Structure 1
Amino acid sequence: MHSVDPDDILARLDPEQREVAAHPTGPMVVIAGAGTGKTRAITHRIAYGVSSGAYAAPRVLALTFTARAAGEMRTRLRELGVAGVQARTFHAAALRQLHYFWPHAVGGGAPEVLAQKVPVVAEAASRLRMRFQGSELRDFAAEIEWAKVGMLTPETYPAAATRAARTPPGLDLTAMARLMSAYEDAKADRGVIDFEDVLLLTVGILRDRPDIAATIREQYRHFVVDEYQDVNTLQQRLLDLWLGGRDEICVVGDPAQTIYSFTGASAVHLQSFTKAHPTARQVSLVRNYRSTPQVLGTANTIASMPGGARRWGGAALVAQNAPGPAARCVHYADDVAEAVGIAGIVEELLAGGTAASQIAILFRINAQSEAFETALAERGISYLVRGGERFFSRREVKEAIVLFRGGVRADDGDTPLPDLVRDLLTGAGWSRVAPTGAGAARERWESLEALALLADQLLATNPSARLGDFVRELDERAAAQHAPTVEGVTLASLHAAKGLEWDAVILAGCSDGLIPITMAQLGEEIEEERRLLYVGVTRARRHLVLTWAQARTPGNAGHRRLSRFLDFLAPDAGAGVKSGRGKGSRDKAGRGTSRASMKPARQAVCRVCSAPLSTATERTTRRCQSCPPTYDEPTYEALRTWRALVAKSASVPAYVVFTDATLTAIAEQQPSTNAEFVAIPGLGQRKMDLYAAGVRAVLAGEDPAEVAARHTS
């Protein structure tokens, strides 16, 4: 590798990025907004540290969350003249250590890792004489993952799931815990482990074998963690063991892009980093090099609304690019019209010179994809669906690679590589003309077409390339999960779009019920939906179109409203959309309403941050879910003890006395008069007569057991 002058490395960066790179040792936390060059900053930090002699490349472990991101980091480091840095995902790094140290710690070879949980979950359910559909089994597999990354056991799961308001479909929490236990037994009988076990077992070895822990800590002395807002409890525990009390760590993340809490990820580790490392240097990257001022204006407005960046801990992004076209908000009568309209917008973009591979249609749930696939196929527009099976795991891709391997010996050296590849692909079912319609046949063709185009790209960069070179290229890409670019419009869910970017983004289905999704009820759940929309908007470089439909099917009355997160766009999105009750709509009782007759209800707001309150729990406590409780912990615990004793004596569940939300409101507001007591939502005259005296006694500091005893005597 070529050597690089350390000063040259710093000269390539903006002031904030240079602040990151110029301090390669010691703890550092980087809050990096979307498109602000975080990968550039941290790779230059590593390169500067190596070139300046601060540390040796093999002593650095850079951790990411996707194989693609790890591959990109390695590529950038090579371009900077740095070789030997280990850039891996948490799982890849742990699996490598597990395979190496298993013979020393346990004996024999490490167990095989399950490719999928669902078959074993199905076996576990069968052992318990339970029968479920495939979708339910996938939900249970996801719930098992959530429990394991939280380091929960079947015994501790029910209580933790109750606190987190988890509700596995079709099972109560006790039954879910039994299924978890049966799943672990089924794995043990098969002699396999799952991906979470890779981390759990590595944690166990490092904890129980100080000699192995010391060996790993000697190998890796400097750590970099990308996307730190997505770290879960288990990954943080493993990271702590790798560090072993040292503070040579740089973390990079953006609390405004925390969208995976359903998997156990939490921005708490990012937000509390300076507490764990008091001497940490803090840097914020806010210069956005991806998007136009118009795109960022929409993103910043979404984030600056009550509950936005102020709560997330982010900052407004500052555009560095030239102005572009204005963001558009378009509404349609129904979902079918929306899909057809979006296909038309895609045609306009293509006609204007935007490449198909630089256009994305993003949506909240995968079920929305089919309508867009059909509309694009009817117009002959190529597309690919992202977020499903990995490219190199697809059956047609595997079959094609087998054909390529078999064809290497028959390569006569005269047939141009692209022609040879296409001849072989014909045997795998590829044709020069794309099939009409949507679905599996079209997806299969798109996969094979991507291989054909990759052969063109390889020949362009290496004119002497032959089929053997092409096979080696595919092997390298498969190892790095570096899928080829398909020249088609990308269809992806908002979650699958994280970390990607396109010249043009069409955000579809921007109506309440989809964004935010109906299932989001609690304050923090609503905020995560807002962040999800923010992530989707910030994927766009130049063109941004937001669309929504008033009805699901043609001919039906339009009851939908524009997403509450986009109310600021209502003047451009259609008459009456902000209220959601335009002419001809109906109220909950089915009565027709007119806009003129409606009076806006007074909005309850958080007494801490003044953000709107959206759930019954928030209105009861008069505090939004994202703001921390303001009660005194001993007082709250005393009230809980008193409630439990009173409920036990009456042989009723504790919530019959007071719900958790009501108990929290009492602890925070500490009512001293009957008027203050009944002013708390959920408390009326009856509960005041029954419990007010006891509540006041506990709040006054009396022993909760004695107060409860007086109540029952």
Structure 2
Amino acid sequence: MESMGRLGADEVLGGLDPQQRVVATSFGSPVVVLAGAGTGKTRAITHRIAYGALTGRIDPRRALAVTFTTKAAGELRSRLHSLGVPGVQARTFHSAALRQLSYFWPRVNGTELPPVASSVLGLVAEAARPLGVELETGLLRDLAGEISWAKVSNVPADRYPELAGAAGRSVAALDPDQVSDVLVRYEQVKKRRAVIDFDDILLCTIALLHEHPEVAEQVRAQYRHLTVDEFQDVSPVQRTLLELWLGEGRDVCVVGDPNQAIHTFAGAQPRYLEGFAREHPGALTLRLETNHRSTPEVLEAANATMGRGLRLRAVRPAGPRVEVAMSADEPSEAAEVAEWLRLRHEAGITWAEQAVLFRINAQAEMVQEALDEAGVPCVLRDAEGRGRSRDHRSSVVDAVTLSTIHSAKGLEWEAVAVIGLTEGMLPFVLATTPAQIAEERRLLHVAITRARTDLRLSWAPGGASGHGQRQPSRFLRDCGLTGGTSSTTTMPVRRRARPRTLPLCRVCGRSLSEAAEIKLGRHADCPGDVDVELFEALRAWRLRCAREQSLPAFVIFTEATLRALAEQRPSDRAGLLRIQGIGIDKAERYGDQVLGIIRAGGPATGDVTTTHKRG
């Protein structure tokens, strides 16, 4: 065995808390680790592998650590390398399976493995064309997601209507029989094009190991020590593949958090984590409940959401209380969140250490608008975990993260605001079964445990128009966290405040502090030159756009932005971008129309349709 570097076994255990140390030193039977948020599960399992290698319990050249994302696999490799164990394979399920498939497929079939399709939407469109419905991108994505769910859940096409109905699943505008037909034709399209898709990587590997015992034996000889992270997210297909890799072996350690099981819509089955000890006689069940991330106040709220199961214990000192706020309506909620973020930035928390989390992406637009108004830079995190800056003035390196709760899983920030905590949003209106409601509750737990120190939970009875009688989420009510008014409680200043650079009035040269004045570029009482006819023309155009897109008018542009346009009358794209509240996205979406209205000096002519580039 190759040298493990200068670290000794005792040194590898140094710095671990007592629960982590038990995980790192437990061998000889299957191990399931129930690890709560912020309890250092990655640290525990990497030190377990390193300690096993240093004491001869594990041959690092025959160890495979499996996780769900390429980023997580890279972090495992990096940590193991720093511990002096560079030989361990750390891969995603698909990466490990594809490696095996690419090697063994030609040897048993005599042909090269078909290529993996770079995109499935074209395949789905071809399969769905006979339905005779409009195949817009949203429907194609929904169909692609449903095809993937059926495949990872072992749901055959002929049983889709029955099993999808039992699972409470549906695809908008299509009945279950139509989806079943698409499933059949989708496989036919792939066969004609001689390609496989992402899910086929696992299915083909399973078939290979099932049908060729000699291949299975070679794989098991190569990977004798298995570690699986995020086991609460394992699908039926992934679990089958893991059992085939394991065979009669017992050297397996699985790690997961039942309170963070939020991906059943994609086929994950938390019951595999909960039932692991029953299915593997003699398995050792360990728990990680010492949270090193969050303050006692944050953890009290997190524990209250779940009621039972893992109970997170704090080691950090007390911090500010959790703020629970009821706003008058959604625009007020967004504006108050912007002010909350700004106050924390003034207290020394960088923008990048702050986040706003929400249930669905549609909630992002109003928050972005409010942050623009307040001069707060933000970056929207997409489903693939990439950050896109909304404004050319916003640095992706130092900007507030806007994210759905699903996309925020695995991340953490110093300050987190969770918005929209109403019935119909969290739990979401489509969550009706007890299992679905339970998963929505776990979503709130995930959102809360992203915060290290500052946490704000908010809701609003009124919608974007100010009307409505929404109720606070039952999860807040269950925990006694419904809050009172929308008044903001200022946190104690724990860090040296940074001076805030304010823009200057273009008329008098004095500092501007109000958001509307910053957008206008001058004080309200300084003389301006608003073109009233142009302003009214822009308002009429905005109203038509809003009706066409079924959006509140202020989401297109606020009154302050229209007034700034009518006063400054930019002549090109660069001029548009100099106006506060107009970022690259809006300049691309509406810029040509706005500039046309300005050049005309009055009412716009022609079509008011826009490029639907949301986000």
Normalising by the smaller structure, the TM-score range is: 0.7 to 0.9
CA–CA separation in structure 2 for the residues paired with 1:380 and 1:333: 22
Contact kept in structure 1, 2:472 and 2:482, CA below 8 Å: no
Q: Which residue of 2 aligns with 1:512?
A: 423
Among 67, 70, 79, which residue is 1:67 paired with?
70
- Confirm whether residue 142 of structure 1 aligns to residue 137 of structure 2: no
- 8 Å contact 1:334–1:552 — kept in the other structure? yes
> Which runs of no fewer than 5 residues in structure 1 stay unpaired?
395-439, 451-485, 576-713
Deviations 1:423-475 (A, max 9, x none): xxxxxxxxxxxxxxxxx8836886xx55xxxxxxxxxxxxxxxxxxxxxxxxx
Q: For the residues of structure 2 that align with 1:441 and 1:280, how far apart are their CA atoms?
A: 47
Give 1:7-86 correspondences, 5 Å limit: 7-86=10-89
Residue 158 of structure 2 aligns to a residue in which SS? Answer: coil
CA distance in 1, matches of 2:398, 2:444: 26
2:328 matched residue in structure 1? 333
* Contact persistence 2:414–2:452 (CA under 8 A): yes
Q: 1:246 to 1:121 in 2, by over 3 A?
A: same
Aligned twin of 2:542 = none
Map 1:111-190 onto structure 2 (within 5 A).
Answer: 111-190=114-193
Aligned partners of 1:113 and 1:194 also within 8 Å: yes
With normalisation by structure 1, the TM-score equals 0.66
Instruction: Note if contact 2:379-2:389 (Cα within 8 Å) is conserved in structure 1.
Output: no
Matched, 1:531 2:442: yes
- CA offset digits 1:512-531 (Å, max 9, x no partner): 11111111111111111101
Q: Distance in 2 between matches of 1:243 and 1:553?
A: 53
Query: Can you list the C-alpha shifts for 1:234-257, whole angstroms capped at 9, x where unaligned?
Result: 000100111112111001111111
2:317 counterpart (310, 322, 327): 322
Is the aligned partner of 1:371 residue 2:366? yes
Distance in 1, matches of 2:358 and 2:291, equals 24
Match of 2:223 in 1: 220
Answer whether contact 1:127 1:182 (CA < 8 A) is retained: no
8 Å CA contact retained: 1:333, 1:554: no
8 Å CA contact 2:294–2:314 kept in 1: the answer is yes
Instruction: Give, in whole Å, the separation in 2 of the partners of 1:342 and 1:22.
Output: 45
- Assess if the C-alpha contact under 8 Å between 1:512 and 1:564 holds in 2: yes
CA contact (8 A) 1:200 1:234 kept: yes
Hey, what's the Cα distance between the residues in 2 that align with 1:118 and 1:148?
16
2:207 corresponds to which of 200, 204, 207: 204
Instruction: Map residues 291-370 of structure 1 onto 2, 5 A cutoff.
Output: 291-304=294-307, 309=308, 314-370=309-365
Q: Distance in 2 between matches of 1:71 and 1:299?
A: 29
Cα distance in 2 between the residues matched to 1:110 and 1:198: 10
Q: Is the Cα contact below 8 Å between 1:385 and 1:443 reproduced in 2?
A: no
**Segment drifting more, 318-327 vs 23-32:** 23-32
Worse-matched range after superposition: 70-79 or 226-235: 70-79
Aligned residue type for 2:205: T
CA distance in structure 1 between the aligned counterparts of 2:484 and 2:452, rounded to whole angstroms? 22
Task: Provide the residue aligned with 2:585 in structure 1.
Answer: none
The code of the aligned residue for 1:275 comes to: R
Q: Determine helix, strand or coil for the equivalent of 2:458.
A: strand
* Post-superposition offset of 1:490: 0.5
Summarize deviations over 1:259-301 as a string: whole Å, max 9, x none.
Answer: 1111110111111111111111111111000000000011111
Structure 1, 164-173 or 253-262: larger mean CA deviation:
164-173
8 Å CA contact retained: 1:327, 1:544: yes
Q: Paired residue for 2:433, among 501, 522, 529?
A: 522
- Paired with 1:555 and 1:178, the residues of 2 have a C-alpha distance of 44
Give me the whole-angstrom Cα distance separating, in 1, the residues matched to 2:315 and 2:223. 37
TM-score by length of structure 2 reads 0.76
Q: Is the 8 A contact 2:100 2:205 kept in 1?
A: yes
Deviation at 1:360, TM superposition (A): 0.7
Quote the residue 2:501 is aligned against.
Answer: none
Indicate how the Cα distance of structure 1 residues 390 and 295 shifts in structure 2: closer, same or farther if over 3 A, else same: closer
Tell me the alpha carbon deviations over residues 356-396 of structure 1, each in whole angstroms, 9 at most, x when there is no partner. Answer: 111010000000011111222233322211124564xx9xx
Amino acid at match of 2:471: R
Distance 1:333 1:363 in 2: 18
Asked whether the equivalents of residues 129 and 135 of structure 2 are also in contact (C-alpha less than 8 Å), the reply is no
Aligned counterparts of 1:327 and 1:276: Cα–Cα separation in 2: 41
Supply the distance in 1 between the matched residues of 2:133 and 2:38 (Cα, whole angstroms): 47
State whether residues 363 and 507 of structure 1, in contact with CA within 8 Å, keep that contact through their aligned partners in structure 2: yes
Provide the secondary structure at the position in 2 that maps to 1:63. strand
Q: Within 5 Å, give how 1:402-481 maps onto structure 2.
A: 442=390, 450=396
Partner of 1:503: 414
Q: Distance in 2 between matches of 1:573 and 1:533?
A: 20
2:463 corresponds, among 552, 561, 583, to: 552
Moved >4 Å (runs of 4+): 443-446
Deviations 1:574-613 (A, max 9, x none): 49xxxxxxxxxxxxxxxxxxxxxxxxxxxxxxxxxxxxxx
- The residue type paired with residue 548 of structure 1 is W
1:673-688 equivalences under 5 Å are none
SS at match of 1:169: coil
Judged with a 3 Å threshold, the aligned counterparts in structure 2 of structure 1 residues 176 and 255 are, in CA distance, closer, same or farther, namely same
- 1:285 maps to 288
1:386 equivalent in alignment to 2:386:
no
Contact 1:125 1:131 in 2 (8 A): no
Q: What residue identity is the alignment partner of 1:54?
A: R
Unaligned runs of 5+ in 2: 487-615
Structure 1 letter corresponding to 2:372: A
- Residues 74 and 441 of structure 1: CA distance in aligned 2, closer, same or farther (over 3 Å): closer
The 3 A distance-change label for structure 1 pair 390 and 544 is closer
Give how far 1:571 is off.
6.1
Task: Tell me which of 447, 452, 471 is aligned to 1:561.
Answer: 471
Q: Provide the C-alpha distance between the structure 2 equivalents of 1:17 and 1:61, rounded to a whole number of angstroms.
A: 20
Determine which of 248, 251, 263 is the counterpart of 1:248. Answer: 251
- Secondary structure of the corresponding residue to residue 457 of structure 2: strand
How many residue pairs align between the two structures? 482
Q: Distance in 2 between matches of 1:156 and 1:325?
A: 53
The CA distance in 1 between the partners of 2:445 and 2:364, in whole Å, is: 20
